[in-house]
Chains A and B, each alone.
Chain A
């Protein structure tokens, strides 16, 4: 190996930076002679990384540095909510009117007061319980029907060709438009409201599952078949886990639509439920209860989406890393 030469000058010269050519501390860039490989001298042992500060203060500082973005987002979020409530307070307490009229709109304090009263009686909690039960039953039924149907439609083209047109015709009909029909169809009011909730969440779940099936990587299916997987095993081991993330997207969207549908149905035909509570408050001129109902709906919707996201993360651990 006569083409590899160690430059003797490099051994004594201080090494300024790792990527400078050997021999001159980087002051003048001297190239290796053509056809020669110039080996850099071995470095002395790398300077030990500084011992991290393991004190509480040191840890706290590093934690702050690493989580700076989250902390900022949380603070900004809290600030925005605070400003919103403040603005609400200002426009309602002063009964401001600029085309939009805040004359009768309850102030945050009034709403807080009505919440205190509402939570002290069982009736309000009962409304919440009934709404949640309707959501749970309607949504669960939708998931139990739509997910397997989507999987099968994705796998068997014939079934898809048969079912898809019907679903496309029914899909654009808003769940609220189903209220009169639903009341005619079902013997009890309760059943018709659950049915409307079911309809609301059914289509987002079905469509997302179908979409997921269409995007399953064909090469994974081939890999499974080459490893001896039967049709059933391929379904269980490849298609199902592959569509799971998309199914959970559908469930999240479906949950949102379920609440929209439920509240509409309760406002029109309910005798219980948080939607009914909100509408009734208007009829009874208990304005603070309107806002209380609205906020409760918002919180419940947020909480249910959150639960689905948690469940989704729990069953798709492989995508957690990202």
Chain B
């Protein structure tokens, strides 16, 4: 299959440095993210993985402009991020399609906000929907669509305004495993054709490896960057790649890193010994008999 070479890109450089985010409680400030640094080069696909609650979504929301860091800087192409803007498209796990707008009106939304005329934006939206295989559904309301379709609309809507970067917050988390794999291929395809920078948050290691050029691993809260991995796998990638030794090795390495953090995130009671059942003394009885 001929995939056009990645378009040469000059825009879409995300730089986050010395990022700290804390919020006040009655017991004092709670640190959510601590001393995090991150770079997404123009046209690069970068993922952040980490245990749940580690602040990876917080981080993404700061790049989107919804949260201000307590200290540190977030810039896109050298410009400090001051608030949300159409320069930074965002895709949410909960789809977040406007239920009162049809599929096409959802996709047109960003263009409408920019003041584009009715017929012009309909043409643009139809093209994008065609790309996502949703032409037949343009006049449907979102609640008639499946999860995979909704998220295709979500992605296409975020891309419609031609953003410099695309931010995705666990976009496929609510989808079943088979649909997720197909969505990953659709996303890869769109990304390669558009040459846009992508920052992708997930807790799915396979997904991060399959999609990314580079992966940042975050620690349990207070979240900070624990490791950075450049994925050595060639593109285009297909499902068979997941069986290659490099993929398997990378998955094992990342799995070990995350497991450590997940156990921390789940609370002090859990450690490797406890999980093996050694921490509870059953006096030789079978657990099934005790319970």
Chain A residues within CB distance 8 Å of chain B: 217, 219-220, 222-230, 233, 237-238, 241-242, 244, 316-319, 321-322
Contacts and interface: CB of A to CB of B under 8 A. Distances in A.
Contacts of B157: 223, 227
Contact of B66 (A222, A241, A322): A222
B92 A219 contact: yes
Interface string B99-140: 111000000011001100000000000000000000000000
9 contacts: A222-B92, A223-B90, A224-B98, A227-B86, A227-B161, A228-B114, A229-B113, A233-B113, A238-B98
Contacts of B66: 222, 225
A196 B89 CA distance: 51
A242 B100 contact: yes
Contacts of B141: 317-318, 321
Contacts of A233: 113
Given A227-B109, A228-B114, A321-B143, A222 B84 contact: yes
A317 B105 CA distance: 14
Interface of B: 64-66, 83-86, 88-90, 92, 94, 96-101, 109-110, 113-114, 141, 143-144, 157-158, 161
A237 B90 contact: no
A44 B15 CA distance: 60
Chain A to chain B: the 5 pairs with minimum beta-carbon distance, closest first: A228-B86, A227-B110, A225-B84, A241-B100, A228-B113
Contacts of B88: 226
A318 B144 CA distance: 10
A318 B100 contact: yes
Output the residue of A222, A227, A229, A322 with the most chain B CB within 10 A.
A227
Output the residue of B66, B97, B99 with the most chain A CB within 10 A.
B99
Nearest to B143: A321
Contacts of B98: 220, 223-224, 237-238, 241
A239 to B, nearest CB: 11
A228 B110 contact: yes
B96 A219 contact: yes
Contacts of A244: 100
Given A224-B109, A226-B84, A226-B86, A318 B99 contact: yes
A230 B101 CA distance: 18
Nearest to B86: A228
Contacts of A319: 99
Nearest to A234: B113
Contact of B143 (A217, A220, A228, A318): A318
Given A316-B100, A321-B144, A226 B109 contact: no
A237 B143 CA distance: 18
Nearest to A224: B109
A217 B96 contact: yes
A222 B84 CA distance: 8
A245 to B, nearest CB: 9
Contacts of B114: 228
Nearest to A320: B141
A155 B161 CA distance: 27
A232 to B, nearest CB: 11
Contacts of A316: 100
Contacts of A227: 86, 89, 109-110, 113, 157-158, 161
A215 to B, nearest CB: 13
A231 to B, nearest CB: 11
A229 B113 CA distance: 6
A317 B143 CA distance: 12
A226 B90 contact: yes
Contact of A228 (B85, B92, B94, B144): B85
Contact of B109 (A237, A318, A322): A237
Contacts of A228: 85-86, 110, 113-114, 161
A226 B100 contact: no
A33 to B, nearest CB: 23
Contacts of A317: 141
A219 B85 contact: no
A156 B118 CA distance: 32
Given A222-B96, A238-B98, A242-B100, 5 more contacts: A217-B96, A220-B98, A226-B64, A228-B113, A318-B101
A242 B109 CA distance: 15
Nearest to A220: B96
B147 to A, nearest CB: 15
A223 to B, nearest CB: 4
Contacts of B144: 321
A319 B144 CA distance: 11
